[in-house]
Chain A
Amino acid sequence: MKFAWKIFFTACALLVFSLGLGSFLLVNASFQNTLSARRASALEKADSLRLSYQALLAADQVLSTNLAYHYGLEGGQAQVLESNPFPAGLEPGQQGSRLMAGPEGEVTFQVVLPLETPDGRLLYLETREDFSDIYQMRRRSLAASCLVMAGVCLVSGGLLFWFSRRLTRPLGRLAKAAALLGEGDYSRRAPEDSSTLETAALAQVFNRMADQVESQMAELKEEARRREEFVANFTHELKTPLTSIIGYADLMRTYELEPPRRREYSDFIYREGTRLESLSLHLMELIVLGKAEAPTARVPAKALLEGARRSLLPLLEREKIQLFVEWEEALLRADPQLIQALLYNLADNARKAMDGPLRQILIRGRLTPEGYRVTVADTGRGIPADQLSRITEPFYMVDKSRARSQGGAGLGLALCQRIALLHGSKLEFLSRPGEGTAVSFTLPLAGESRPEARPAAPLPSGPDGMGPAESAAPSPPSRPGPGADAQPSPQPAPHDSFREVNP
């Protein structure tokens, strides 16, 4: 049964019961009052009649009819009887009274009083008075109160019905919202404007729960989407080189080919094979890094940044890119191999992003309150703002065909992010399309870092020289290596960075 109906019926039953009982008790009390008053007066009258009779008897005048007549005028009957009219009998000399019901519902009050004649005989004076009117009045009052009660019940029942509906409506709405939520409509909320505190609080609690559920569902969905995308991208990255390998191998084993053709095809197979190898190595790194523990080695900042510079210089010099390295001295807690791989990858990305006349990369280490902040900045083409949040996702490529032609599978930054996470930091990107990108992360200090960090000193190295990057960097060489961009870089594939970088 609906809650509203339950409230309604219970309240109605209570109302009818209490109203009925109340009015019955009221009517009855007034009836009892009237009855006892009438009894008293009847008894009194009977007594005075007896006294009169007694007096007459004493005077030996028996004119009882007269008195009875008079009594009759007052609405009663009186007679003198020889014997006791009470069925059970009265003790001689005692008086008695009773109510007698007639066959048609009339009620008579009978009083019997003993009379003593002068000669010692015992007579009985009996008076009867009609009490029917009192009973009738009680019946009428009860009927009237029933009528009134019915009216009151009707009106208050209506009010009760409205009220109970109003009281339970928020519950109904809450139930509907909960049902919809259960069916997967996670944006559904219960209205919180209900009149009672409890239902409003319930709706609020429910909505808070729904918020939680919604956000967790969104998170799960996002996670599932990411995973699905990872798998889809992974299959794509896996199947694309496989298609070429299988296809060209199939051509070679089916047809007798001219040597140049054969060479071309085997070259495709070789290159796509290396791509597969790179993909599997990167994936391995991702898996291994996912399980690695936080680094504990103490490394001077200088060793890290200078190591990165040494490994980067040959690559960057060949492409006529200036490299600036600045550092503040500090002792860091880091895995030197991983951090150098990270720096190498970031710088290598920067190198690939160079397409303007200004070709500079800056690697800078600074002491900050949060730790040792390392930034790799470039003057490359930059990253569109709407893609910044996704570039560390595995397989995500801003420019697919360019990344592909440079041998990338979109895993480099995902790896870098993993390394940063392993050091308790995150890659932060600051980029302006057309101007350049700066990637930063923070390394933890190894307890006692030297506070008197000296200002970054430009290091003399490389043919183009090094200088503080902020103060007007030396103007870029006017000959930016003709066609340096178009040629496939003779560098090792990017995955090699993870194997070759040694401090």
Chain B
Amino acid sequence: MSPIRILIVEDEVPISRLLETSLTQAGYQCTCAFDGAGCADLLETQRFDLVLLDVMLPGADGFELLPYAREYGAPVIFITARSDVKDRVRGLKLGAEDYITKPFSIEELLARVEVVLRRGHKLASRLVSGDITVDTEARTVLRAGRPVELTAKEFDLLVLFLKNQGIALYRQTLYERVWQDPFEGDTRTVDLHVQRLRRKLGLEGRLVAVYKVGYRLLKEEET
């Protein structure tokens, strides 16, 4: 399957870089445009699976660009600092798939991107790594073709690792993402779940602890 291509249209360089970094890390291929004209040019010459569109752009309004993007068949997620209902409704009526208001968290951004892509059947609900196959929709895990029983938290933790292969993740963030609670200094819960994941899926060699940080799932080629 070819990589999923996302066009980021955002005039604020730091935010554009932020979006690019996080989406690239999540496995998407990103292209950046910084104004309306650049966005239109890119839409004309390349195909994108998703457009992240800032509303306030120099040169052209995001609302003006939306129909243009739709013409090329790319679903659009609006990004804006304005949070009035009026604007949101206007964007959605024009055919935007979703709406993200600034400031947003990376997690929220990735979740929304995933939902929109899945709606357009552009994202496989299947994550494959080594002999492990995870279906994020059916929430099933196969190891070498045989189903493995995981608890809900173990499953979420596994998906998080699979999506961030090769990157060391902090215990604290792992806890917050999976348990959806503010972290209160107790790392044993995370450690326990990681140990059980290792045992159930035979990941003793790949899911490694990183000193003072947390854990890292090595990429396949690293093992």
Contact = CB atoms under 8 A, between A and B. Distances in A.
Nearest to A246: B103
Contacts of A248: 14, 18
From DSSP, what is the main secondary structure of chain A's interface residues?
helix
Contact of B106 (A235, A251, A268, A271): A251
Interface string B52-91: 0000101000000000000000000000011110000000
A240 B170 contact: no
Contacts of B106: 247, 250-251, 254
A378 interface: no
A400 B11 contact: yes
A236 B102 CA distance: 8
B31 interface: no
Given A232-B84, A244-B18, A401-B11, A255 B169 contact: yes
A268 B84 CA distance: 27
A242 interface: yes
A212 interface: no
A104 B159 CA distance: 123
B38 to A, nearest CB: 12
Interface in A231-261: 232, 235-236, 238-240, 242-248, 250-251, 253-256
Given A240-B15, A244-B12, A255 B56 contact: no
B35 interface: yes
A452 interface: no
Contact of B15 (A232, A247, A254): A247
Contact of B172 (A246, A253, A256): A253
Given A244-B12, A256-B210, A235 B18 contact: no
B21 interface: yes
A401 B15 contact: no
A244 B21 CA distance: 12
A242 B82 contact: no
B203 interface: no
Interface centre among A243, A245, A272, A400 (most CB of B within 10 A): A243
Contacts of B213: 256
Contact of B58 (A271, A272, A401): A401
**Best-surrounded residue of A242, A246, A256 (most CB of chain B within 10 A):** A256
B54 to A, nearest CB: 10
Interface in B5-45: 11-12, 14-15, 17-18, 21-22, 25, 34-35
A255 B216 CA distance: 10
A225 interface: no
A242 B103 contact: yes
A412 B194 CA distance: 54
Contacts of B21: 251
B12 A235 contact: no
Contacts of B17: 268
B81 A236 contact: yes
A243 B173 CA distance: 19
A30 B105 CA distance: 109
Interface string B92-110: 0000000001111111000
A302 B220 CA distance: 75
A256 B168 contact: yes
A208 B168 CA distance: 74
Contact of B12 (A245, A250, A254, A404): A404
Given A239-B103, A246-B103, A251-B106, A232 B14 contact: no
Contact of A239 (B81, B84, B169): B81
A254 B170 contact: yes
A408 to B, nearest CB: 14
Nearest to A244: B14
A235 B55 CA distance: 13
A370 interface: no
Nearest to A237: B81
B15 A400 contact: no
A290 B118 CA distance: 52
Given A251-B21, A255-B169, A235 B82 contact: yes
B144 interface: no
Given A239-B102, A242-B103, A247-B103, A256 B18 contact: no
Nearest to A275: B14
B148 interface: no
Contacts of B12: 240, 243-244, 404
A255 B25 CA distance: 10
Contacts of A256: 167-170, 210, 213-214, 216
A404 B56 CA distance: 13
B56 A243 contact: no
Nearest to A397: B58
A399 interface: yes
A235 to B, nearest CB: 6
Contacts of B168: 255-256
Given A235-B83, A247-B103, A248-B18, A400 B173 contact: no
Given A247-B15, A399-B58, 10 more contacts: A232-B82, A232-B84, A243-B103, A254-B170, A255-B170, A256-B169, A256-B214, A272-B14, A401-B11, A404-B11
6 contacts: A243-B102, A247-B103, A247-B105, A251-B18, A268-B14, A404-B12
Interface of A: 232, 235-236, 238-240, 242-248, 250-251, 253-256, 268, 271-272, 399-401, 404
Interface of B: 11-12, 14-15, 17-18, 21-22, 25, 34-35, 56, 58, 81-84, 101-107, 164, 167-170, 172-173, 210, 213-214, 216
